[in-house]
Copies of this chain bind each other. A is one copy, B any other.
């Protein structure tokens, strides 16, 4: 019987030998990432981290990062965590996500981590955590549950 909420890490085996180039190429084509200054700071099978540096034009009315910025980077972190595990030629589509905001996103950086929870042939479920980094201290400011769909290339259907 399970004794913990934290299932043991699974080793994710990529189906696409070029998963890293595929993901980094897709990220580079997301115009909004350049707009907000987002960087992909970690990438591994089933895992992705995206970071933005604080700027005044990323804020909500109280000067913290806007929840939309949080949503933007955590949606992409989850999506790219999923894409690392998809077949060659596949594309990733967000079906839905749910974001709880836990604390003000107050910091010099905002870091979103996406992690695959379950990877099926058509659907991939991920979780995302977002941290605001201030003076070297990380505050857990948002948590996400996300459903992705694999768009298989035409010929494979």
Residues of A within 8 A of B (CB): 1-2, 5-7, 26-27, 29-32, 34-36, 55-62, 66-69, 71-73, 75-76, 91, 93-103, 109, 111, 113, 115, 117-118, 122-123, 125, 127, 129, 131, 133, 138, 140, 143, 145, 147, 149
Do B6 and A145 touch (CB < 8 A)?
A: no
Query: Is B7 a contact of A129 with CB atoms below 8 Å?
Result: yes
- Assess the B32–A59 pair: CB atoms within 8 A: yes
Stoichiometry, as copies per complex, reads: 4
The answer to whether B72 and A76 touch across the interface, beta carbons within 8 angstroms, is no
Q: Is the CB of A123 within 8 A of B138?
A: no
A27 to B68, CA, bound (A): 13
- Cβ contacts A to B, 20 pairs, < 8 Å: A1-B111, A2-B111, A2-B129, A2-B138, A5-B113, A7-B140, A29-B61, A31-B66, A32-B58, A61-B91, A68-B71, A68-B73, A68-B75, A71-B72, A71-B99, A95-B95, A96-B99, A98-B98, A117-B140, A125-B143
Q: Say how far A41's CB is from chain B's closest CB, in angstroms.
A: 8
B149 touches A69 (CB 8 A): no
Within the assembled complex, what's the spacing in Å between the Cα atoms of A61 and B94?
Answer: 12
Picked from B29, B68, B131, the residue with its CB within 8 Å of the CB of A2 is B131
How many angstroms between the C-alpha atoms of A112 and B144 in the bound complex?
A: 19
Question: When chains A and B are docked, how far (Å) is the Cα of A32 from the Cα of B24?
Answer: 25
> Measured between alpha carbons, how far is A65 from B106 in the docked complex, in Å?
26
